[in-house]
């Protein structure tokens, strides 16, 4: 009987060590929020190209108690653009926008696109992205780039934040 239990335990341990997928933890994490300024303009059809400050994924992960060395897969699930100021502003002037991620080592990759904005909208959420960005997380710092085109005059500067939610498997 002891032999059967020992054999079963040894077999179970061998199976568990061969299957590293058993140790996966999968969760969503608000990864980073970056601020950007869209300058006022009197010209419709102005194209804005704005790059965020660099994001250090290792420090962002450490804030959430995760080591980047343990990440097996990271996908961006959603992205939200919030209008922070002016308080009475909205995105009525926005014709279209594209958001890109730029890595130190990785190429620029389009993350999301906005082609339709509801009247008086102050927040734009793009969900269901499911774009794998594991290499961007593991390879060092990265930033976001916003390309926006207006179809109305923008009378004052607009401060926006871009917040991303990543699904992380460790």
pLDDT of residue 20: 47
Is 149:95 a contact under the CB 8 Å cutoff? yes
What are the b/e assignments for 54-66, b being 16+ CB within 10 Å?
A: ebebeebbeeeeb
pLDDT of residue 141: 87
Over the chain (170 residues), the average pLDDT of each successive run of 10 is: 46 45 66 87 92 84 76 89 94 93 91 92 90 86 91 93 87
Residue with tokens 């620029």: 108
pLDDT of residue 128: 81
The residue extents of the domains of the chain are 24-169
pLDDT of residue 60: 75
> DSSP secondary structure string, 13-50?
HHHHHH-GGGG--EEEEEEEEEEEEE--BS-TTPEEEE
Type and span of the H or E element at 95: strand 94-103
User: Both tokens of residue 57?
Assistant: 């994924």
pLDDT of residue 151: 92
- How far from each other are the two terminal CA atoms of the chain, in whole angstroms? 38
Nearest alpha-carbon partner for 106 in 148, 51, 144, 79: 144
Cis bond leading into 34, ω under 30°? no
Q: CA triplet 79, 80, 81: central angle to 5 degrees?
A: 125
pLDDT of residue 70: 81
pLDDT of residue 168: 84
| C-alpha dihedral (37, 40, 43, 46), degrees to nearest 10 | 0
What is the maximal distance between C-alpha atoms in the chain? 85
pLDDT of residue 101: 92
Q: What pTM was estimated for this model as a whole?
A: 0.78
24-169 CATH: 2.60.120
């Amino acid at each position: 009987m002891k032999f059967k239990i020992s054999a079963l335990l040894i077999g179970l341990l061998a199976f568990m060590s061969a299957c590293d997928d058993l140790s996966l933890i999968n969760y969503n994490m608000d990864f980073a929020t970056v601020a950007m300024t869209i300058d006022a303009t009197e010209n419709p059809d102005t194209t804005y190209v704005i790059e965020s400050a660099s994001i250090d994924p290792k420090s962002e992960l450490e804030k959430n108690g995760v080591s980047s060395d343990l990440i097996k897969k990271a996908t961006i699930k959603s992205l939200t653009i919030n209008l922070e100021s002016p308080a009475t502003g909205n995105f009525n002037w926005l014709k279209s926008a594209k958001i890109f991620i730029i890595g130190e080592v990785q190429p620029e990759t389009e993350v999301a696109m906005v082609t339709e904005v509801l009247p008086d909208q102050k927040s734009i959420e793009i969900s269901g992205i499911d774009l794998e960005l594991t290499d961007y997380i593991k390879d060092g710092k990265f930033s976001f780039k916003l390309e926006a085109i207006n179809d109305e005059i923008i009378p004052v500067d607009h401060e926006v934040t871009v917040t991303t939610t990543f699904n992380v498997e460790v």
